[in-house]
A and B are shown apart, each in its own frame.
Chain A
Amino acid sequence: MSATVAMPAKAPGTGYWRGVGRRFARQPLAMAAAMVLLVVVLSAIGADWIAPADPFQTSVSRRLAAIGTPGRWLGGDELGRDMLSRLIHGGRVSLAMAIVPVAVALVIGGFLGVLAGYAGGAVNMAIMRVMDVFYAYPSILLAVAIAGALGPGMVNGMVALTLVFVAPIARVAESVTTQVRANDYVVAARLSGAPTSMILRRHVLNNVAGPVLVFAASQVSVSIIAASGLSFLGLGVSPPQADWGLMLSALRQALYVNPWVAALPGAAIFLCSMAVNIVSDGIRRAMELRR
């Protein structure tokens, strides 16, 4: 206790997030995973400059070239295109298709969850029962079914994934909001006669945002697998676009010729999904306030 009392005075919000950053940096595994993600995201953004070859340039002689072939360092795909370049370019599509739906679902689900949690009563019932219905399906199955009904295409895939992630995010937002709302500082704010919008903005949202953001981040790891899964089934991105799921699907025919090249896009999906998992776990740990 004496140590906390001696703490120097510091600015409000920034102090908290600086502390989270410090505690995150102390976790070596989380930092390593964050580095991996950073490299993947940067190379996806800068794919046009980083990729060693044109990802659409086919080459008959280098069809399914083995790993280590000059000019095709990670091998060639079924049309002889450079795997490394396609993986780098594919990251752009795969990550966008995974992150955008979660981001949109965060806005929709966050709004619904906070509304349900703060209003309570009948409003809560109405919103959360609808969420329960969506929650009843396993996420991948629901994504496949909706995307299947809408038909193939990247936008349809993203719409399907968004619908899948709204319910779980709304659930977390609702439960956190309900907890925050029960705190005496919210009671005190209501006692002051402040308008609800001001109480939500100043007292509820900044305490709800953290846990909900971390949960949404952890859902990105599910989304990466599901988004590539849709493309793998032919429901997401369409050829000749480079996308990890689509590449994995196309290379299945090449299993008997060059199995390890065929396995590469899956490794990329796995690596990203795991890195997201470790990072979101690390943030969650860093955010736990020790009282």
Chain B
Amino acid sequence: MLRYLLRRLAYVAPIAVGVTLIVFLLVHIAPGDPISAILPDDASAEMVAEARREYGLDKPLPVQYGIWLWRAAQGELGTSIRSGRTVASELSMAVGNTFILAVASGLLACVFGVALGLVAGLARDRIADHVTSLVTLAGVSLPHYWVAILLVIVFAVENPWLPPLGIGPDTSDGWRPDWAHLQHLILPAIATALIPMAVIARTMRASVIEALDQDFVTTLHAKGLLPGRRLWHVLRNALPTTLAVTGLQLGNMLGGSVLVETVFAWPGTGFLLANAIFQRDLPVLQGTMLVLSLFFVVLNLAVDLLQSWADPRIRRA
């Protein structure tokens, strides 16, 4: 297992470096002088020259990348052009809020996805299966931002049961575990969870059917083993694949949260990113992307290790 871990790390490290390189280049593909994107519009010529030196922008690109990476490793991600606060402080708040949303929707997606997939797989080719399959097919084609709007229409506009916007009452900008904040969490969590749930259910159904078709399950059946024990065997064989897909979906879910958070004005990383783009606040854009993309790399690695732990055959491949 340790050997496998080291091998995976050796594989992931260059990817992580590549990911940071792309994030670094984001500012350089932006039209115009990168310095004008970092400084406020009314900056004086001396300020521009000084910033250019300070950021190392007078040096060749590879050196700039090195300097940027070194600063980023120490948590120095620059200053927001619009708010004047450091990118790191803007991010720390947003990351926490997105984390809450991700945990809530991740739980929803996992629990309902696995349950739906299991039901469909066990009821193969019966009504329950066809209905679930159609629902999950629809689920993978849903635009999340539209789902978010529909949820607002049904549960906040037509029936004013839940709040349509924000993370909490009034001007609350951080999540707290109380009833008012929980109400604000429900709609964004459902909107974010729906698509991953559908994908998880689809995968789960396929792997349950595959597991049921395996000879050893038939043998267990022939041996007259209790259904509960058979179910356990099916689950054990279906879980590694489902786990892998779940991990990937968590990544996609956070990708989709850019749009969902925008609809609900949920002050997380996605909302921060969208606002940074809208206001052309490139330091914030770069910092947010760096944090999010490195998080995906780590997430993928974690899923990989978890999967190899659940299914030792993968380690040898």
Query: In their complex, do chains A and B touch, with some C-beta pair under 8 Å?
Result: yes
Check B143–A273 contact: CB distance below 8 A: yes
Q: Does B192 contact A (CB under 8 A)?
A: no
Query: Does A145 reach chain B (CB closer than 8 Å)?
Result: yes
Q: Which residues of A contact B228 (CB under 8 A)?
A: none
Count of chain A to chain B residue pairs whose CB atoms are closer than 8 Å in the complex? 137
The B153-172 residues at the A interface (CB cut-off 8 A) are 153, 157-158, 164
Interface centre among A137, A147, A255 (most CB of B within 10 A): A137
Least CB distance from B111 to A in Å reads: 22
Q: Smallest CB–CB gap between B153 and chain A, Å?
A: 4
The answer to whether residues A145 and B149 also contact, given A136-B19, A136-B296, A138-B255 and a CB cut-off of 8 A, is no
Q: Are A233 and B143 in contact (CB under 8 A)?
A: no
Residue of B nearest to A133 (CB): B18
Do A229 and B143 have beta carbons less than 8 Å apart? Answer: yes
Q: Which residues of chain B in 121-174 are interfacial with respect to chain A, using CB atoms and an 8 Å cutoff?
A: 137-138, 140-146, 149-150, 152-153, 157-158, 164
- Whose C-beta in chain B lies nearest to the C-beta of A277? B141
- Kindly state whether residue B278 has any CB partner on chain A within 8 Å: yes
A252 lies within 8 A of chain B by Cβ: yes
A148 near B273: Cβ-Cβ < 8 Å: yes
Q: CB-CB < 8 A to B256: which residues of A?
A: 138, 140
A142: B residues at CB distance < 8 A: 255
Q: Is the CB of A274 within 8 A of B141?
A: yes
A-B contact pairs, 29 of them (CB 8 A): A129-B14, A132-B15, A133-B18, A136-B300, A137-B19, A137-B296, A138-B254, A138-B256, A141-B254, A141-B292, A144-B277, A145-B26, A145-B285, A148-B26, A148-B273, A148-B276, A149-B26, A151-B31, A225-B143, A229-B143, A233-B259, A233-B262, A233-B278, A235-B277, A255-B149, A262-B149, A263-B146, A274-B141, A278-B137
Q: With the chains together, A235 CA to B285 CA distance in Å?
A: 14
Is A60 interfacial (CB 8 A cutoff)? Answer: no
Q: Give the shortest distance, in Å, between B107 (CB) and chain A (any CB).
A: 19
- Chain A: how many interface residues by the 8 Å CB criterion? 45
A: residues with CB less than 8 A from B are 129-130, 132-134, 136-142, 144-151, 221, 225, 228-229, 232-235, 248, 252, 255-256, 259-260, 262-263, 266-267, 269-270, 273-274, 276-278
User: How far does the alpha carbon of A162 sit from the alpha carbon of B67 in the complex, in Å?
Assistant: 30
Q: Are B137 and A232 in contact (CB under 8 A)?
A: no
Q: Does B258 contact A (CB under 8 A)?
A: yes
A274 / chain B contacts, CB cutoff of 8 Å: 137-138, 141
Which of B26, B140, B143, B251 is A277 in contact with, Cβ under 8 Å? B140
Q: Which of A130, A133, A146, A229 contacts B26 (CB 8 A)?
A: A146
Contact A277 B137 (CB under 8 A): yes
Chain B: residues with CB nearer than 8 A to chain A? 14-15, 18-19, 21-23, 26-27, 29-31, 137-138, 140-146, 149-150, 152-153, 157-158, 164, 251-252, 254-256, 258-259, 262-263, 273-274, 276-278, 280, 282, 285, 289, 292-293, 296-297, 300
Residues of B within 8 A of A260 (CB): 153
Q: Are B29's CB and A146's CB within 8 A?
A: yes
- C-alpha spacing A262/B158, complex, angstroms: 13
Instruction: Judge whether B15 and A273 touch: CB under 8 Å.
Output: no
A229-B273 Cα distance, complex, nearest whole Å: 14
Residue of A nearest to B20 (CB): A133
Closest beta carbon of chain B to A161's beta carbon, Å: 13
Residue from B15, B259, B262, B277 within 8 A of A148 (CB atoms): B277
CB distance from A105 to the nearest CB of B (A): 16
- A263 and B296 form a contact (CB under 8 A): no
Docked complex Cα distance between A132 and B277 (Å): 25
Closest B residue to A249 using CB positions: B145
Distance between A151 CB and nearest chain B CB, rounded to angstroms: 6
Interface centre among B23, B26, B143 (most CB of A within 10 A): B143
For B19, B142, B149, B153, the residue with the greatest tally of chain A CB atoms inside 10 Å of its CB is B149
Q: With A and B bound together, what is the CA distance between A130 and B21 in angstroms?
A: 11
The smallest C-beta distance from A94 to any residue of chain B, in angstroms, reads 11
Measured CA separation A232–B255 after assembly (Å): 15
Q: Per a CB cutoff under 8 Å, which of B22, B26, B137, B258 touches A233?
A: B258
Query: A147 — nearest CB in chain B belongs to which residue?
Result: B277
Contact B142 A270 (CB under 8 A): yes
- Looking at the assembled complex, report how far the CB atom of B82 sits from the nearest CB atom of chain A, in whole angstroms: 14
| Other contacts beyond A141-B254, A151-B30, A225-B144: 4, CB < 8 A | A133-B15, A133-B21, A255-B149, A259-B153
